[in-house]
Amino acid sequence: MVRVGVVGYGHLGQYMVKQIMDHPDLELAWVWNRSDIKGKVADHLILKDLNSCGDGNPDVIVEVAHPDISKQYGQLFLKHADYLMGSPTGLADRETEEKLKSAATQHGVYVPAGAFWGGEDIRKMSERGSLKGLTVTMKKHPSSFKLSGQLEELNKTVADKAVELYRGPVRGLCPLAPNNVNTMAAGAVAASNLGFDNTVGVLVSDPGLIDWHIVEVEVLGPPGPAGNQFTVRTQRMNPAAPGAVTGSATYASFFSSLLRVGGKGAGFHLC
């Protein structure tokens, strides 16, 4: 029986708690939330202080709250359990990335693949040194973005046609769109030889995408004898309600990632 602690009780957190409680091989150790959840979760399962995350002896701690959780508590979580990061955009912060790398010695940091298609193949290419380029493009309706800074202002100007809000290193994009680009962060983790600085993220605000979130992945490998380059392109169309930050298929995918946590030891793992 795998005991799971859940950090966050929003839409995804509520889904995860229900799935954990219904699964024969999982047991809920505790739930923590920033606001009061008394009456929503049994009193004995509510964790009041994340500094007490070892209570209930969790095997896995799942974060579905905010990237800052990893910065503040990630090292502590890894002293007690494997850690599944629901907000891997937090790894774009260099200090957080380095701290978790150094702390993941006994337990591992797991990053859900989510909407990132082909992650295992990209990981294999990265480990062989044959991955030469990775670009992840995310296209959503303007109302589906939660942005800050100049991207927020630019998104407000989108009217009747698609606008490219950003193109550049994923590390620079994550702090501006932490709720929207976890898929890109997963890509940067899979492409370990490229990382957050050399994985390219493209964010497109498209008013025509009322019912969909689209993720496009372009992978570049080594050039062939004639100079032509190995290339793979995929497009994932995820059904999503208007204004939804997370597509409907992502919930089930995230729970599937939880079922794959464990047994891989130290370091960072895509799941």
What's the structural domain count of the chain? 2
Q: Are residues 17 and 134 in the same domain?
A: no
Q: What is the mean pLDDT of residues 65-70?
A: 94
| 214 within 8 A of 249, measured Cβ to Cβ | no
Instruction: With cut-offs at 50, 70 and 90, classify the pLDDT of residue 120.
Output: confident
Strand partners, 129: none
Report the CATH number that the domain containing residue 144 is assigned in CATH. 3.30.360.10
Q: Are residues 135 and 99 in the same domain?
A: no
> Quick one: DSSP state of residue 51?
G
| Backbone angles phi and psi of 52, in degrees to 5 | -105, 30
Q: What is the mean pLDDT of residues 40-46?
A: 96
Q: What is the rounded CA–CA span in Å between residue 75 and residue 266?
A: 13
pLDDT on residue 246: 67
Strand blocks (E) in 15-91: 26-32, 60-63, 82-85
Q: Are residues 235 and 136 in the same domain?
A: yes
Contacts of 112 (CB under 8 A, 6+ apart): 84, 85, 86, 88, 182, 186, 253, 254, 257, 258, 270, 271
Q: What is the rounded CA–CA span in Å between residue 175 and residue 251?
A: 23
Q: Are residues 123 and 46 in the same domain?
A: no
pLDDT tens digits, one per residue of 127-178: 999 999 999 999 999 999 999 999 999 999 999 999 999 999 999 999 999 9
Q: What is the rounded CA–CA span in Å between residue 124 and residue 121?
A: 5
Q: What is the rounded CA–CA span in Å between residue 66 and residue 52?
A: 19
Percent of the chain scoring above 70 in pLDDT: 97
From the list 115, 105, 128, the residue with the least C-alpha distance to 221 is 128
Cα–chain center distance at 107: 19
Q: Are residues 217 and 159 in the same domain?
A: yes
Q: Are residues 187 and 167 in the same domain?
A: yes
Q: What is the rounded CA–CA span in Å between residue 233 and residue 186?
A: 17
Supply the mean pLDDT for the chain. 93
Q: What is the rounded CA–CA span in Å between residue 54 and residue 208?
A: 47
pLDDT on residue 248: 59
Q: Are residues 143 and 201 in the same domain?
A: yes
Q: What is the mean pLDDT of residues 25-53?
A: 97
Q: Are residues 131 and 54 in the same domain?
A: no
Residue 93 has pLDDT above 90, yes or no: yes
| Backbone angles phi and psi of 119, in degrees to 5 | -60, -40
Query: What is the number of other CB atoms lying within 10 angstroms of the CB of residue 98?
Result: 11
Q: Are residues 190 and 260 in the same domain?
A: no
Q: What is the mean pLDDT of residues 7-17?
A: 95
| 201 within 8 A of 211, measured Cβ to Cβ | no
SS3 102: helix
Report the CATH number that the domain containing residue 84 is assigned in CATH. 3.40.50.720
pLDDT on residue 41: 96
Q: Are residues 90 and 163 in the same domain?
A: no
Q: Are residues 231 and 188 in the same domain?
A: yes
Q: Are residues 128 and 142 in the same domain?
A: yes
Residue 249 has pLDDT above 80, yes or no: no
* Domain residue limits at 93: 2-115+251-270
Query: Tokens standing for 51?
Result: 């500094």
Q: What is the rounded CA–CA span in Å between residue 5 and residue 25?
A: 14
pLDDT on residue 227: 78
| 57 within 8 A of 29, measured Cβ to Cβ | yes
